[in-house]
């Protein structure tokens, strides 16, 4: 049995919203969109789950942590510059949608 999340219900709902949007791209996107969303989903999942267990979790902290993770991956040349821009643009869109 998993422990209950400690984060605010609004934060949890935002995580679920972002997950749903990523899943939608995975289910309905082009091959390129699928690649970009799947790559971002990997970073997001590793960061979002632990944050759900943090009482201090916020969208600002989520954004900061995901952005730092992506930046480190880009420094390591995990993606081409074009794909880096696409991943960053998708993340910006998802986090802004979660804030509204």
Q: What is the residue-averaged pLDDT of the chain?
A: 92
Place of tokens 């309905």: 28
pLDDT for 100 equals 85
Helices (H) and strands (E) in the chain, counts: 4, 0
Q: Is the pLDDT of residue 6 over 90?
A: no
Could you write out the three-class secondary structure of 20-53? HHHHHHHHHCCHHHHHHHHHHHHHHHHHHHHHHC
pTM of the predicted protein model: 0.91
Tens-place pLDDT, residues 16-50: 999 999 999 877 889 999 999 999 999 999 999 89
Q: Report the C-alpha gap between 21 and 15 in whole angstroms.
A: 10
């Amino acid at each position: 049995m998993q422990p209950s999340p400690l984060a605010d219900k609004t934060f949890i709902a935002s995580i679920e919203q972002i997950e749903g949007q990523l899943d939608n791209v995975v289910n309905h996107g082009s091959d390129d969109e699928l690649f970009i969303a799947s790559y971002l989903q990997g970073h997001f999942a590793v960061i979002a789950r632990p944050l759900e267990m943090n009482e201090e979790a916020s969208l600002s902290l989520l954004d900061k942590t995901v952005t730092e993770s992506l930046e480190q991956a880009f420094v390591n040349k995990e993606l081409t510059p074009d794909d880096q821009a696409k991943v960053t643009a998708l993340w910006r869109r998802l986090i802004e949608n979660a804030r509204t």
